[in-house]
A and B are shown apart, each in its own frame.
Chain A
Amino acid sequence: MHEYALLLASALSAGTPLALASLGLLINEKSGVVNLGAEGMMLMAAIAGFAVAVATGNQWLAFGAGAVVGSVLAAAIGVLVLWLGTNQYATGLAMSLFGAGLSAFLGMNDVGRNLAPFGHVHIPWLSDLPFFGAALFSHHLMVYVAMLLAWGIHVFLHRTRAGLVLRAVGESPESAHALGYPVRRIRLAALMVGGALCGIAGAYLSVIYTPMWVQGMTAGRGWIALALTTFATWRPARVLLGAYLFGGVTMLQFYFQGRGVQVPSQLLSMLPYLATIVVLALISRNPTWIRINMPASLGKVFRPTA
């Protein structure tokens, strides 16, 4: 019993960076912009966060650094895509490739450097509960922040005026523009908030989760986070659920091995990626369903006419 509690706990922990990044990308996409740069932004934020954590010993400063780096890079993408009208896909890809290269370069001297692990929360009474205490109530604070964020984003999108405007911009930028909303500035803001969340996710990986800097340490998590928004049909609660499911699949491969399951470990390592493909195929199978949920202007260029 205890073992399953720990498996659940590690799934939550492994799913948290995915959830954070994916929630950020969800905000981007609700405004109508696809950001393929998530992987590169996460890597840049991971090295920035790590360097700050090593220098200051303060994890919150590290998260702050990750968020700033993420949103500055997102702003760079925003300027290119929104004002200079570059292709969204190509620009995002450029960010992913550039971020991977530059983070490896900047982090050369941080490889394998030591960082004292930061503690987890201990909630009186709750953390001591049998099963649930270990599974749900003994995590790093950021795990709960991700959960609150999913709820907050849901409320923002569906219960506030600003959320309504954001969705309107994503559904029909032309009408939003006609109503006098600054479409490009709203999209830039959405990109920067999304970038900040991707940055926090990157910093979580290098400062809390591992904690260590290694080049390319995101290992495709930025892309899986991107897939999760489709998987969740752009709903925050489902993003969270999806992230924990994938976190669980990641941990499951090691459980199978430790249990002596007779499947080659390389084939087990494929699981998270295969799962992504299968889920994407199942979710996308019904195009009308996707179309109802997907922001209508997603990925399309918007040029305001005078």
Chain B
Amino acid sequence: MLQLEARPAPSRTMLVLSPLIALAATVLFGALMFAALGKNPLDGLALFFVEPLKGLYGLSELGLKATPLILCGLGLAACYRANVWNIGAEGQLLLGAIAASGVALQATDDTTRWILVPILVAGVLGGMLWAALVAVLRDRFHANEILTSLMLVYVAQNLLDYLVYGPWKDPEGYNFPQTALFAASTTLPKLIPDTRLNIGFAIALLAVAAMSLFMSRTLQGFRLVVGGQAADAARYAGFSARKSLWTVLLLSGGLSGLAGALEAVGPLGQLTPHVSPGYGFAAIIVAFVGRLNSIGIVFSGVLMAMFYIGGELAQSRLGLPNAMTGVFQGLLLFCLLAADTLVTHRVRITGRGMRHA
């Protein structure tokens, strides 16, 4: 019979293999689902894993979609490494979009392109502010950050609604809930002409590089990781849990806020109630599937973007419900958690006579 047995040390091989095993299991389940819906599994899987990669246009859309996922996932990974359970990246993203739009609305067609700098900075600060609320509540009031960060998502969505239905409504927009279109000067420079892919993607990759260096090469980064893994040891070594709480939350809020700013002045070009289809929540999966590792997050961010685009394609080409996207995302995380057992445990086939105590 099969038996799980603890490994003496975590397996490095399995640490790398387990996301791949999880992906394989998800793909297998997906194929079964397509078959159950009466579609050819290969056609279905092709829409998720092949079609989004086709051509320059396809790749550019993938990059555009992956940008907010990577940025939010990066910040969340820092939080989770430090054992801070921020699950409100969605709200921090919305605040970033709100703050950035506040600046972008001041721009006119005569404004220089440099207006983009204050716009993006405002986005970062907006996200930081929202995360700082979580930090204050945890630091001063010991309130559980899982719950406060999530409740603040709903507050942020209502705040966004209030602004676009009220004070920031386009005066020429017949009362419809959206701001005026931002002036042309706020447009993000394109990375590839004639596509929607803009420098946001490059900024996200830079953030990945910076975060990699921060985590592996600086004392502060080391402190965060130690503090998360062994709070007592960290305290003994004189590392402050408070400081790491604030650091990771501000970092995460800033990155999510940046993602929101890039969405607002990027593909959206105005502020509407529909800034995000849940990037902040999908980014939780991105962070875990990417192994809380900066480089891993690039891959998992792109993978998650493929699920989004594949879901749309499955709908318009095969007439399948686009709720498939959510199923794939959740399933992947589940399979990963289960596969992770293999990092610390190994499967042994034991005979009847070899009973363990």
Chain A directly contacts chain B within the complex, with at least one CB pair under 8 Å: yes
Tell which of B166, B284, B344 touches A97, judged by Cβ atoms closer than 8 Å.
B284
Stretch at the interface among A59-67, A113-121, A138-146, A223-231: A223-231
Bound complex: CA A101 to CA B334 (Å): 13
* Cβ-based interface call for B288 (8 A): yes
Chain B residues whose CB sits within 8 angstroms of the CB of A269 once the complex forms: 158, 161
Contact B341 A85 (CB under 8 A): yes
Q: Given A84-B338, A97-B281, A105-B323, does the pair A287, B150 have CB atoms closer than 8 Å?
A: no
Shortest Cβ distance from residue B138 to the other chain A in the assembled complex, whole angstroms:
9
Tell which of A90, A105, A226 touches B324, judged by Cβ atoms closer than 8 Å.
A105
* Cβ-based interface call for B203 (8 A): no
* Cβ-based interface call for B151 (8 A): yes
Bound complex: CA A270 to CA B161 (Å): 11
* Cβ-based interface call for A55 (8 A): no
Chain B residues whose CB sits within 8 angstroms of the CB of A80 once the complex forms: 337-338
- The A interface is mostly helix, strand or loop, or mixed, namely helix
Count how many pairs of residues, one from A and one from B, have CB atoms less than 8 Å apart in the complex: 140
Q: Given A86-B341, A266-B162, does the pair A273, B284 have CB atoms closer than 8 Å?
A: no
* Cβ-based interface call for B39 (8 A): no
Chain A residues whose CB sits within 8 angstroms of the CB of B162 once the complex forms: 264, 266-267
* Cβ-based interface call for A290 (8 A): yes
Shortest Cβ distance from residue B307 to the other chain A in the assembled complex, whole angstroms:
10
Chain A residues whose CB sits within 8 angstroms of the CB of B154 once the complex forms: 220, 270, 273
* Cβ-based interface call for B357 (8 A): yes
* Cβ-based interface call for A78 (8 A): no
Tell which of A94, A105, A280, A281 touches B327, judged by Cβ atoms closer than 8 Å.
A105
* Cβ-based interface call for B198 (8 A): no
* Cβ-based interface call for A172 (8 A): no
Chain B residues whose CB sits within 8 angstroms of the CB of A95 once the complex forms: 330, 334
Stretch at the interface among B107-115, B141-149, B181-189: B141-149
* Cβ-based interface call for A108 (8 A): yes
Which parts of B247-290 form the interface with A (CB within 8 Å)?
281, 284-285, 288
Question: For A83, A94, A223, A287, which residue has the most chain B Cβ atoms within 10 angstroms?
Answer: A94
Bound complex: CA A287 to CA B152 (Å): 22
Name A104's closest neighbour in chain B (CB-CB). B323
Bound complex: CA A230 to CA B142 (Å): 12
Bound complex: CA A102 to CA B151 (Å): 23
Q: Given A86-B341, A100-B326, does the pair A280, B159 have CB atoms closer than 8 Å?
A: no
Contact B158 A270 (CB under 8 A): yes
Q: Given A80-B338, A84-B341, does the pair A276, B147 have CB atoms closer than 8 Å?
A: yes
Chain B residues whose CB sits within 8 angstroms of the CB of A259 once the complex forms: none
* Bitwise interface map of B from 88 to 130 toward A, beta carbon under 8 Å scored 1, else 0: 0000000000000000000000000000000000000000000
Chain A residues whose CB sits within 8 angstroms of the CB of B331 once the complex forms: 98, 101
Chain B residues whose CB sits within 8 angstroms of the CB of A108 once the complex forms: 321, 323
Bound complex: CA A85 to CA B357 (Å): 19
* Cβ-based interface call for B170 (8 A): no
Contact A93 B284 (CB under 8 A): yes
10 A-B interface contacts by CB (under 8 A): A89-B146, A98-B331, A98-B333, A101-B325, A102-B326, A102-B327, A227-B151, A277-B137, A277-B151, A277-B152
B residues whose Cβ falls under 8 Å from a Cβ of A = 4, 80, 85, 87, 137, 141-144, 146-148, 150-152, 154-155, 158-159, 161-162, 165-166, 281, 284-285, 288, 321, 323-331, 333-334, 337-338, 340-341, 344-345, 357
List 14 other contacts, CB 8 Å, given A215-B323, A266-B159.
A84-B4, A84-B341, A94-B285, A94-B288, A95-B330, A97-B281, A97-B329, A98-B334, A101-B323, A108-B323, A269-B158, A273-B154, A277-B152, A280-B147
